[in-house]
Amino acid sequence: MISCGYPALMFGMPGNWMAICHFFPALLIWLSTIARSRTLLGVGTCAMIGYLVWFTGEYFADSLGWPLALVIIGVLFIALSVLAVRINRRYFAGKM
């Protein structure tokens, strides 16, 4: 699975890379508002979705909570999409 720039998740790098990967999507979304960049917003949103998919697959795949985790991640995808659209409207609507 390609997860938008997550070398630790794609190649299994241990150590500090995992700590960086937890905050990378939020950092990209935050930077997109400062730089007023739709590209950063899109990449940050994809990275957040990739991280959430990896996280649920890593920690819930072998348990009975997997179906519940899939429902929760679906709700998170919808919420993240709504948030991305709101950020786009608020910070980028007049830009072009």
User: Can you give the pTM of this predicted structure?
Assistant: 0.60
CA distance 46 to 52: 10
Give the pLDDT mean for 19-36.
83
Look at 6-20, 23-37, 50-64, 82-96 and tell me which has the smallest mean pLDDT.
6-20
One-letter amino acid for residue 68 of the chain? L
| 31 C-beta neighbours (distance < 10 Å), count | 14
- Residue range 37-93, pLDDT digits in tens: 888 888 888 888 888 777 777 777 788 777 887 788 889 889 988 888 888 888 777
How is the chain split into domains, by residue range?
7-92
Question: Closest by alpha carbon to 47, among 64, 30, 28, 71?
Answer: 28
Amino acid symbol at 11: F
